[in-house]
Amino acid sequence: MVGIYFSGTGNTKHCVEKLIHLLDGTARAVPMEQKEAADLLWEEDFIVLGYPVQYSNVPVMVRDFIQSNSGLWKSKNVLCVATMALFSGDGAGCAARLLEKFGANVLGGLHIRMPDSICDVKLLKTSVEKNQRILRAADRKIENCAEKIGRGKYPKDGLYFYDRIAGFVSQRLWFYGKTKNYSDKLKISMDCTGCGLCTGLCPMGNLTLENGRAAAGSRCTMCYRCISSCPSQAITLLGKTVIKQGRYEKYVKE
């Protein structure tokens, strides 16, 4: 068993690591952007695949990973784990359908509610207490799920036809292609001190230092990792200012 995940702000990383640990104390979880992920996919036959939903869809990076390793999925047992802030009809189903096209045996889908990773839109921010309650509920759901899987019962979140209708009508119909449209929209303000932190964090290699300041290219996949980590709060995407940065490890310390 191996966990392969993509995680912008640490939510999905936590969920996959916790689930994997409960299912098999010796199993590892690796981020998708590491080269090792494809090697482990080749070696292992049970994959826990985790990602955050973006507009009720699979992030571009995750879709690319699945497609660029299309020959490795045949007969693999896969559990799709989708984290989300509020709702996604078929967050797990979106990857499941693609994986089945490449011959994978999708055993289940798990939806886990986590804090919202979008930190520059006021409407989406909640209190620390509420986020901590969300995290406790998420941990309980993961523990429950691991216990049921131990008895051979897999969750089926997001895998039914009506989930697909819900995901389409509530989000994809309106936001389809939004992540592509935002691939070159990252804004870096004059508050940037040129510390370079973001350039090492971006999973897409989309950030560089130019003349002592960060500069963004056109490969952003809206993961919010750099925006949530910049010490000067100089990066924004959907909004104009950072309201409150949120990362998984920050919530557990608060």
- Which residues sit at the interface with ligand SF4, rule CB under 6 A? 8, 186, 188, 192-198, 201-202, 204, 206-207, 214, 216, 220-227, 230-232, 234-235
Interface residues for ligand FMN in 227-246 (CB under 6 A)?
A: none
Binding partner of 55, given ligand SF4, ligand FMN, none, CB within 5-8 angstroms per partner class: ligand FMN
Question: For residue 213, what is the enclosing H or E element?
Answer: strand 213-216
Residue 76 CA to residue 210 CA, distance in Å, equals: 44
Q: Measured from the CB atom, is 102 or 168 closer to ligand FMN?
A: 168
How far is C-alpha 134 from the geometric centre of its chain's CA atoms? 16
Q: Which of 25, 86, 129, 152 binds ligand FMN (CB under 6 A)?
A: 86
Binding partner of 198, given ligand SF4, ligand FMN, none, CB within 5-8 angstroms per partner class: ligand SF4
Residue 136 CA to residue 113 CA, distance in Å, equals: 10
Q: Measured from the CB atom, is 90 or 99 closer to ligand FMN?
A: 90
Q: Measured from the CB atom, is 152 or 200 closer to ligand SF4?
A: 200
Count of Cβ atoms closer than 10 Å to residue 243 Cβ = 16
Q: Measured from the CB atom, is 40 or 222 closer to ligand FMN?
A: 222
Asked if 9 interacts with ligand FMN (CB under 6 A), we say yes
DSSP state of 143: H
Contacts of 79 (CB under 8 A, 6+ apart): 46, 47, 48, 49, 106, 107, 108, 109, 110, 149, 154
Contact status, residue 237 vs residue 186, Cβ threshold 8 Å = yes
Amino acid identity, residue 45? D
Contact status, residue 79 vs residue 95, Cβ threshold 8 Å = no
Q: Mask 35-54, x = binds ligand FMN (CB under 6 A)?
A: -----------------xxx
Interface residues for ligand FMN in 95-154 (CB under 6 A)?
A: 114, 116-118
Q: Measured from the CB atom, is 116 or 163 closer to ligand FMN?
A: 116
Q: Mask 205-224, x = binds ligand FMN (CB under 6 A)?
A: -----------------xxx
Q: Is residue 196 helix, strand or coil?
A: coil
Contacts of 118 (CB under 8 A, 6+ apart): 85, 124, 224, 238, 239
CB of 5 to ligand FMN, least distance (A): 7
Q: Mask 162-191, x = binds ligand FMN (CB under 6 A)?
A: ---------x--------------------
